Amino acid sequence: MLQERIPDLSKFVEPDRVRREVYTDPDVFELEMQRIHESVWVYCGHESQVPKPGDYYQVQIGRQPMLMVRGKDNRVRVLYNRCPHRGNMLCGDLHGNSGEFFRCSYHAWTFHHDGKLRSIPMMESGYQGTRYGRDNPECSVKPAARVESYRGFVFASLANKGPSLLEFLGASRVAFDDMCDRAPEGEVEIVPTCFRVLQHSNWKIFLENQLDALHPSVTHQSTGRAAHEVEKLIEKKSGKAPLSYHMLSAFATVTIDKWDAFQTLNYPHGHCILTGYMGLRPKDPDTLAYEAVMEKAYGRKRTEEILGVNIHHVLIYPGLSVQSPLQQLRAVRPLGVDRTLTEIWHFRLKGAPEPIYRRSLAYYNLVNSPSTMINADDLENFWKCHQGLASDGGDWVNFARHFGRDIEKDGMLETGPNMGTSEAPMRNQMKAWVQYMTAEK
């Protein structure tokens, strides 16, 4: 049906523009779920979300309800949240602890944490002579085809074939290295709650915004200006405003030309990195105390290397946006062609002093949470974009800013000098999209 209506999906995407149906056609969305989200490595969660045996967390991969669960052997697995008896979801709660085993709430089939069948009520009398029993894999909970983790971040792929997690991540793994290396103990720990935002727009609109370095000084200008006014008043009165004001005022003080000084790096599989940093290495006592702890853990040279990593944002296509220097992560869960759930998480640097966590929390609340004006500004744009794209007012989405000026280096596309606001990251994401959507199956 889809193939009849849309004979050649690659015609939807040109190097500098994309047809609007890519964002609005429900059939395209269904195909995206099959060919992208249910095939590639999708971020499930952090190992510290399930610290004890039996702990589970629900996660959506494409259209599939899944469970991330820790077993008694301490291994974290990912299972379909579906009872093999009559299809009931095994866990209705978003997260919890299953105890010694999973027990289905419908007819009490029980399962080990790896999904294997443990018991069926009256198994002998009920199933003797049938083809069902402990040895039939159809009676166990189906696991994700592949599960791997990198530095505590768990990914699953529902496809048997494809690159390994490390091959898939490629250079984008720096997101996790940068986040964990900034911890004196070399690892992070999840703050066990997150904001969930339901966006009334296609999932790609959110991702395309993440490395859109032109938009902050426009979309967030009013918020940035208001914060800057207050920041100046406080500075006048007390000499120094708290760093949290800078997190907001930067949206006004970092103007378009300054964003152009940053750079984007565009990698295979649609992953992209925005280099540049909002100047969060001040010389205040909290930062100096943290740097002293880091030096004790790593020595001076390595500490400088770690704190000198110049990354603002890493986008791991098609579902993750990481701001590693501030320990923030946003996971994208597409729910429908015009409905997208984002989970907004933040992390603690293990071994770092409390004020460094407070800084991450401030950024989380002030910039990424649904209660801030920054996030609200973006959400309104996303909704308006989707409305406009659903109209007959035009057929194409334009990604031509600095088109033709990207520099190719070792299989990666770098934006040219002083072109940080290039739309190269959007072009790179769409290039990956076409590859996934038209790949031979």
The CA–CA distances, whole Å, from 244 to 125, 215, 248 equal 66, 21, 7
Count the alpha carbons within 13 Å of 110 in the hemisphere toward its beta carbon. 11
Q: Which of Fe ion, ligand FES, none interacts with 365 (beta carbon under 5 to 8 A by kind)?
A: none
Torsion angles phi and psi, residue 229, rounded to 5: -60, -50
Q: Is 32 in the site for Fe ion (CB under 5 A)?
A: no
- ∠ CA 346-167-153 to the nearest 5 degrees? 20
Q: Which of Fe ion, ligand FES, none interacts with 153 (beta carbon under 5 to 8 A by kind)?
A: none
Q: Which is nearer to Fe ion, 181 or 260 (CB)?
A: 260
Q: Which is nearer to ligand FES, 117 or 194 (CB)?
A: 117
Q: Which of ligand FES, Fe ion, none interacts with 107 (beta carbon under 5 to 8 A by kind)?
A: ligand FES
Q: How far apart are CA 424 and CA 420, in angstroms?
A: 9
**Residues of this chain, 326-385, that bind Fe ion according to CB under 5 A:** 378
Least Å from the CB of residue 326 to ligand FES: 43
Q: Which is nearer to ligand FES, 106 or 396 (CB)?
A: 106
Q: Which of ligand FES, Fe ion, none interacts with 406 (beta carbon under 5 to 8 A by kind)?
A: none
Number of residues that bind Fe ion (CB under 5 A): 1
Least Å from the CB of residue 105 to ligand FES: 7
Least Å from the CB of residue 66 to ligand FES: 17
Q: Which is nearer to ligand FES, 109 or 290 (CB)?
A: 109
Least Å from the CB of residue 101 to ligand FES: 13
CB 361 within 8 A of CB 346: yes
**Residues of this chain, 68-107, that bind ligand FES according to CB under 6 A:** 83, 85-86, 88, 104, 106-107
Number of residues that bind ligand FES (CB under 6 A): 8
Of 321, 307, 305, 301, the residue nearest 352 (C-alpha)? 307
Least Å from the CB of residue 108 to ligand FES: 6
Q: Which of ligand FES, Fe ion, none interacts with 382 (beta carbon under 5 to 8 A by kind)?
A: none
Least Å from the CB of residue 107 to ligand FES: 3
Q: Which is nearer to ligand FES, 125 or 160 (CB)?
A: 125
Of 123, 80, 117, the residue nearest 102 (C-alpha)? 117
**Residues of this chain, 219-238, that bind ligand FES according to CB under 6 A:** none
**Residues of this chain, 382-441, that bind Fe ion according to CB under 5 A:** none
The CA–CA distances, whole Å, from 99 to 19, 107, 193, 236, 316 equal 50, 18, 21, 57, 34
Determine the residue with CB nearest Fe ion.
378
Q: Which is nearer to Fe ion, 104 or 374 (CB)?
A: 374
Interaction pattern, residues 343-382, with ligand FES; x per rule: CB under 6 A: ----------------------------------------
Q: Which of Fe ion, ligand FES, none interacts with 378 (beta carbon under 5 to 8 A by kind)?
A: Fe ion
Q: Which is nearer to ligand FES, 80 or 433 (CB)?
A: 80
Least Å from the CB of residue 86 to ligand FES: 4
Q: Which is nearer to ligand FES, 90 or 252 (CB)?
A: 90
Q: How far apart are CA 15 and CA 21, in angstroms?
A: 16
Q: Which is nearer to ligand FES, 104 or 293 (CB)?
A: 104
Q: Which is nearer to Fe ion, 251 or 347 (CB)?
A: 251
What are the b/e assignments for 44-73, b being 16+ CB within 10 Å?
A: bbbbbbbeebbbbbbbbbbebebbbbbbee
Residues that bind Fe ion (CB under 5 A): 378
Residues that bind ligand FES (CB under 6 A): 83, 85-86, 88, 104, 106-107, 109
